[in-house]
């Protein structure tokens, strides 16, 4: 993984895993502190900064990922292209590009900000809570995914008219529809009216 000031502050020189810290924010998205990742997700949840990425191919199909079964939060469910948390002090755009490459082995050919959305989604299966101030990004991808199997179980490109069928047949993350709906204006601008988003 490339080392940046943010990643250097969140890695250990002796190879042992250190606690992953998240940036806590107020209702306006202003940083107010930090918390350990798991602690921030335990009920009732602490409001923290997050990001969600939606990447499309040239046919206007959305790249979905199914979260790896080994993940402690929402394992095995389908979700948007990539989502995660910036390290404290890391720009959301930088974090979105970094995690997309780390999880899926791809770099977007275009990545643009698409607003923010604030939500509170409990996960009944794990008891964890997504209490997030989420920065949205939309973009294009031209390369085929090469996922990290510890993070991603499966990927699929889906057209807008296929999404509802897939969503009815398989479990999706609790936050998926919230972030998709919030990103739709930017998605429509990116993919054009014929893509149906």
- Catalytic positions, please? 83, 132
- Contact in structure between 179 and 121 (CB atoms under 8 Å): no
Q: Which H/E stretch holds residue 55?
A: strand 48-56
Radius of gyration of the chain (CA): 16
149 class by beta-carbon count within 10 Å (0-12 exposed, 13-18 middle, 19+ buried):
exposed
- Contact in structure between 53 and 104 (CB atoms under 8 Å): no
Residue environment code for 51-89, b if the CB has 16+ CB neighbours within 10 A, otherwise e = bbbbbbbeebbbbbbbbbeeeebbeebbbbbbbbbbbbe
Residue 143: which residues within 8 A CB-CB, separation 6 or more?
Answer: 105, 106, 107
């Amino acid at each position: 993984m490339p080392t940046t000031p943010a990643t250097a502050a969140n890695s250990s020189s002796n190879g042992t895993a250190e606690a992953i810290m998240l940036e806590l924010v107020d209702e306006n998205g202003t940083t107010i502190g930090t918390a350990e990742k798991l602690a921030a997700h335990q009920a009732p949840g602490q409001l923290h900064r997050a990001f969600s990425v939606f990447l499309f191919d040239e046919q206007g199909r959305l790249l979905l990922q199914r979260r790896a079964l080994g993940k402690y939060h929402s394992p095995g469910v389908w979700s948007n292209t990539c989502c995660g948390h910036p390290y404290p002090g890391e720009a959301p755009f930088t974090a979105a590009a970094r995690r997309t490459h780390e999880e899926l082995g791809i770099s977007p050919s275009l990545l643009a900000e698409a607003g923010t959305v604030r939500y509170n989604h409990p996960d009944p299966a794990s008891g964890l809570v997504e209490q997030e101030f989420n920065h949205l990004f939309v973009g294009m991808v031209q390369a085929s995914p090469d996922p990290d199997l510890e993070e991603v179980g499966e990927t699929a490109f889906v057209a807008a008219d296929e999404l509802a069928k897939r969503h009815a047949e398989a479990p999706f993350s609790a936050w998926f529809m919230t972030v998709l709906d919030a990103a739709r204006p930017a998605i429509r601008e990116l993919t054009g009216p014929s893509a149906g988003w």
